Amino acid sequence: MKYKNVSNFIYGQFMESSSQNFLEVISPVDGNLLSKVCLSTSKDLDDAVKAAKKAFPTWSKTSIKESKPRSLMPYGTCTVKRCCVYGSI
């Protein structure tokens, strides 16, 4: 397997699902197993919603300058750097 299993991200950390069921992610290029993604349960979803509700008051007061560089800027930078590649696909 090329990548680690993908877990839920709840309360600011990766957490295992309460289910032990996974979906295999297969490479369309060569058919190899790339990773496994946990199939979340309703309990996992409830935990994520509770965590989001708890975090929202603080998060909503966080300025874009504080929050976006940590979360979105790496993706934006990567997209800009690779825009020529994306345009040629």
pLDDT of residue 73 exceeding 70, the answer is no
**Domain boundaries in the chain?**
8-87
Q: How many Cβ atoms from other residues are within 10 Å of residue 11's Cβ?
A: 14
Q: What's 3's DSSP letter?
A: S
Query: 14 pLDDT exceeds 60?
Result: yes
Q: 3-class DSSP state for residue 30? A: coil
What pairs with residue 33 in β-bridges?
26
- Please report the pLDDT score of residue 51 as a whole number: 94
Q: What are the tens digits of pLDDT across the range 36-45? A: 999 999 999 9
DSSP state of 32: -
Nearest to 22 by CA among 42, 6, 45, 46: 6
